[in-house]
């Protein structure tokens, strides 16, 4: 059995045509961007507005990091 065949706690990722982690891995996306994508793909089926806030939080941190560079 492969990791994509199961999901712990729900089915919000499995019902997508492309699972967030497959998209993130295939495009070599970094930690902060990847987490924002993860929350943006699931917000309507799992965490609602809280997931949008989580995505925003990761984007805020990424902006702070980039501004310091």
* Cα–Cα nearest to 20, from 56, 45, 57, 50: 45
Look at residue 9 and tell me whether its pLDDT is greater than 60.
Answer: no
According to DSSP, residue 59 is labeled H
Which residue is listed with tokens 């939080």? 57
Asked whether the predicted pLDDT for residue 7 surpasses 80, the reply is no
Does pLDDT of 61 surpass 60? yes
Q: How confident is the model at residue 12 (pLDDT cuts 50, 70, 90)?
A: low
pTM of the prediction? 0.82
| Mean pLDDT, residues 48-63 | 98
- Give the Cα separation of 53 and 22 in Å (integer): 23
Alpha-carbon distance of 62 to 18, in angstroms, equals 24
Nearest residue to 23 (alpha-carbon basis) of 10, 8, 38 = 38
Q: What is the pLDDT of residues 15-53, one digit of tens each?
A: 778 989 999 999 999 999 999 999 999 999 998 999 999
């Amino acid at each position: 059995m492969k990791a994509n065949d199961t999901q712990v706690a729900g089915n919000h990722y499995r019902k997508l045509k492309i699972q967030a982690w497959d998209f993130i891995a295939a495009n070599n996306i970094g930690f902060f961007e990847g987490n924002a994508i993860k929350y943006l793909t699931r917000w309507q089926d799992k965490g609602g507005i809280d997931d949008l806030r989580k995505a925003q939080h990761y984007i805020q941190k990424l902006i702070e990091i980039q501004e310091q560079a």
